Structure 1
Amino acid sequence: MACAGGMVMLDQTVVAIALDPMAAGLGLTTFVMHGVVLVYVLSLSAFAPVGGMTARRFGLVRTFRLGTVLFAVASGVCGLTPAGDAAAPFVLVMRAVQGAGAALMLPVATTVITDVYEERERGRALALYAGLAQVFFVMGPVVGAVLTQLMGWRSVFLVNVPVAAAVLWLIARARLTGGEEAESGALTAIQPLVVIFSLGVLVLGLYQCGGAWGFTDLRTITALATGVLALALAVRLVLRSRQPLLDLRLLGIRPYAVAVALTFLVQAPQLIVLVHGTLFLRQAMHLPLLATGLCLLPLVASLAVGTFSSGHLLDRSGSIRVPVLLGLATATVGAALWTLALPSREYVWQVPGMVLAGLGMGLPVPALSAELMRAVPEDKRADASVLRQTLRQLGGAVGLATAGAVVLAANAEAADEAGIVTATAAPAGFMVASCVLGAALLFAAVLLHGRARPPVR
């Protein structure tokens, strides 16, 4: 399970490193280059509830295997993307399939671990799972840089194939006895289709506000309006269904709703700074691939440190407000400092902002996860986890689409056609990240209520 989670985490950071060489090799525009990351995250968020539904119908292990195979096949095909006019639609479709495969794996992984280990061992097992995934995430920039430099950008996709094969071999060796059970009943198609359609069209409209269509274009307005209406229809269908794709009624539990909303807001700037920070180092500062990967280590390493420190800080303080407010305040300051340092194009001035932003964005999420699981009844925790995962990934997609639209609007047209984000346009994305973090801090300060918790002694 940790290898699978790590593979999905690794994909986010290694692909960010490969974006520039990939765009140059295939002749992708900046719009499509952003789309390579955006489509994957959007697909992951849209298909996460489908993963939960499939697991209930066909069993955990079968769903996990299907997701692993789908992820591996799509990764391999991405690595074989042909150059020419077909490159953009080809790679975007395959990235969407890759995201769907990841969506079938991630919700299942934690459930399998929870089922396999007894309560006295479960915390250690889940910590090991999360820790190994974080190791993959931290090593992603360096691994991506080495692979791309030695074997080309295609290798960052092809490397997933042997890793997936190892995952399938390991799960066969494990001989799980409790993961094949399935519930009776037919699968519903209308709910997933409406949810996926609404999210896809809405995010496309957001992204096109600064893209080829522009904010005032009739196509952009139509996409936004259609997405909103389709999303309203999807919510209505889910709420009225006897077998809902997502248990949206959980959002009626106030502490859970606040924690999920904050998780959504934190995920958005995290993806923005990862993608645009990588592109700035590579395209504006013209750093070599390996140097770019190494220069990202302060961000991803501090993000991992913040994640690991969150639970300890929550236990010691006895209040969820401490890690969340401290983290969001630190991240807001860090993102602002990083933004102010960009015009100098001096790496040394960017490091303090990187470290503070990473540390601050890592602190809130584990504490929020603990809070939202505590807030729901025990028999609803699986549904709560799926809904959280869906909205968390959707936050990344919406954040990247919004920042991408702002950056594209500020970018020179010639640079966009060449797949380059100019040094003057790049800070716009960081400004979006800073504003979202500031809004999250204000939201948490007003609506997040701390509860007394006995400190760990």
Structure 2
Amino acid sequence: MPEGPPPPRRRYVVAAVGCAGGMVSLDQTVVAVALDPMAHSLGLTTFAMHGVVLVYVLALAAFVPVGGMLARRFGRLTTFRAGTALFAVASGLCALAPPGEAAEPYLVAVRAVQGVGGALMMPVATSVITDVYEEESRGRALAVYAGLAQLFLVLGPIVGAVLTQLLGWRSVFLVNLPVGAACLWMIARARLGNRAGGGSLSVVQPLVVIFSLVVLVLGLYQCGVWGVTDIRTLTALAVGAGALLLAVRLILRSRRPLLDLRLLSVRPYAVAVALTFLVQGPQLIVLVHGTVYLRQAMGLSLLATGTCLLPLVAASAAGTFLSGYLHDRYRSVRVPVLLGLTAAAVGAAAWTAALPSLVYAWQVPAMILTGFGTGLPVPALSAALMRVVPPDKRPDASVLRQSIRQLGGAVGLAAAGAFALAANANADDAAGVITVAATSAAFTVASCVLAVTLPLAAVALPRRARTGGRGSAGPAA
């Protein structure tokens, strides 16, 4: 009898997708540390500094469903490889950004491409691990995958600071080239199959979704410059909202929808996705604006800035890992979610109040509370929402969740950026300086979102303890 294909090498699978997820996590922290020296080197305005981060997160949100569609059509292995290569190459191109007037459009365009690469990787990672591991060992494999991503997140501030200080800000982008190459090598060694479903690709649905999200989010961000009541702001928001409604209508009527929006009719799933959306924005706001504050307002060196960020990112990683334990210990999603939101709301408010003092010691307890609180809810919510959908719908549920989660980050960053731009003086905007008042405005957005999300979660989450076995709520990326 002819022999079948060799079994996949599982350790290479986990290492490859873990490093890929780590690249996406690492990018958030190292770029935040490098923003200030990048702005001064290239002559970026404050608007462009925000835009470099915002366009990356927006591309993630807009193209995650496209990544899911391509994985079904061409196979997950092909999509993962393409996303990894695109992310690494675009990251390398970011390091070649020219100074002067060309810097802003160049960086925005290449960062968008980098976000597209990340979006192609994200829908594939967890489904690949789920396929190659049996149920009894799947939880541990997913925990290792999430742990690698969290390790990259925690190391990001120090790695970014050391690289920027020793080799310049361009090196924080170049670091993704060897990591990406290692991911491609490991996924080749993993001997995975590449099952492709075939079928036609939808073009209209992705185009309408991408157009609607870009116009809506950038219109929200631009209102910090134009003003809320400016006709340009109102037009952009109206066009974006109208296009989004059209996209929803097209998706619901399609036999091959880009996103399975009907999953939102399952109330526990819809609640978990909505709360994930609301948490993602504040988490990115405090990371990005907190980093620039330490560097610009407090005047810390690059290495000191990276070190001073550790309480935030380490607490976030701790919350992520503790989430699964609390979920399984109390057999209820309410415990980790409400505990996390309470800590995050209190921490963000306290941190906002401490910003004008410019005293780091007063900010550390608030940073720990904020990081721990924002890290705690998402893994438990992820486990809860995947449990309430049928097994055959879980890949679609994962893609929809990732899309909405990243959209939450983009909307949060856009709203905080608009408030920061409105609070900044024109001269500071032109010089690429974010003042304490502007940082406080951005933090106020995060604090208000968390303060509103807490009572919503208390009302919407199920009160009855769940039934079923343990081990279902390990860390989730």
TM-score past 0.5 threshold: yes
Give matches, 1:370-381, under 5 Å: 370-381=383-394
Q: Deviations over 1:338-379 (max 9, x none)?
A: 011111100000001000011111111011001100111111
The residue identity in structure 1 corresponding to 2:432 is G
TM-score (norm 1): 0.98
Aligned partner (choices 198, 209, 230) of residue 195 of structure 1: 209
Contact conserved, 1:334 with 1:355, CA < 8 A, in 2? yes
Contact conserved, 1:17 with 1:292, CA < 8 A, in 2? yes
Q: How much does 1:258 deviate?
A: 0.4
- In the other structure, the counterpart of 1:146 is 162
Q: How much does 1:216 deviate?
A: 2.5
Give the percent of matched residue pairs that are identical in Structure 1 and Structure 2.
72
Q: Does 1:2 pair with 2:15?
A: no
Aligned partner (choices 361, 374, 377) of residue 361 of structure 1: 374
Q: How much does 1:287 deviate?
A: 0.2
| 2:224 aligned counterpart, secondary structure | coil
Q: Does 1:13 pair with 2:29?
A: yes
Q: Deviations over 1:209-230 (max 9, x none)?
A: 112x222222211111110000
Give matches, 1:425-436, under 5 Å: 425-436=438-449
Give matches, 1:265-280, under 5 Å: 265-280=278-293
Aligned partner (choices 172, 177, 186) of residue 200 of structure 2: 186
Q: How much does 1:173 deviate?
A: 1.2
Q: Distance in 1 between matches of 2:411 and 2:459?
A: 23
TM-score (norm 2): 0.94
- In the other structure, the counterpart of 1:446 is 459
Q: Does 1:227 pair with 2:240?
A: yes
Question: Would you say how many aligned residue pairs link Structure 1 and Structure 2?
Answer: 454
Q: Distance in 2 between matches of 1:54 and 1:165?
A: 22
Contact conserved, 1:318 with 1:451, CA < 8 A, in 2? no
Q: Distance in 2 between matches of 1:59 and 1:426?
A: 44
Q: How much does 1:73 deviate?
A: 1.1
Q: Does 1:204 pair with 2:221?
A: no
- In the other structure, the counterpart of 1:172 is 188
The residue identity in structure 2 corresponding to 1:231 is L
Give matches, 1:287-366, under 5 Å: 287-366=300-379
Q: Distance in 1 between matches of 2:124 and 2:423?
A: 41
- In the other structure, the counterpart of 2:61 is 45
The residue identity in structure 1 corresponding to 2:387 is R
Q: How much does 1:86 deviate?
A: 0.8
Q: Distance in 2 between matches of 1:54 and 1:364?
A: 30
Q: Distance in 1 between matches of 2:470 and 2:91?
A: 43
Q: Deviations over 1:254-312 (max 9, x none)?
A: 00000000000000100000001001100100000000000000000000000000011
Q: Distance in 1 between matches of 2:186 and 2:394?
A: 27
Runs of 4+ in 1 over 4 A off after TM superposition: 454-457
Gaps of 5+ in 2: 1-16, 472-477
Give matches, 1:242-281, under 5 Å: 242-281=255-294
Q: Distance in 1 between matches of 2:218 and 2:149?
A: 30
Contact conserved, 1:320 with 1:451, CA < 8 A, in 2? no
Q: How much does 1:456 deviate?
A: 5.2
RMSD: 1.0
Aligned partner (choices 115, 118, 132) of residue 131 of structure 2: 115
Contact conserved, 1:315 with 1:453, CA < 8 A, in 2? no
Q: Does 1:437 pair with 2:430?
A: no
Q: Distance in 2 between matches of 1:137 and 1:116?
A: 26
Q: Deviations over 1:199-252 (max 9, x none)?
A: 0000011001112x2222222111111100000000000000000000000000
The residue identity in structure 1 corresponding to 2:270 is A
Q: How much does 1:417 deviate?
A: 0.5
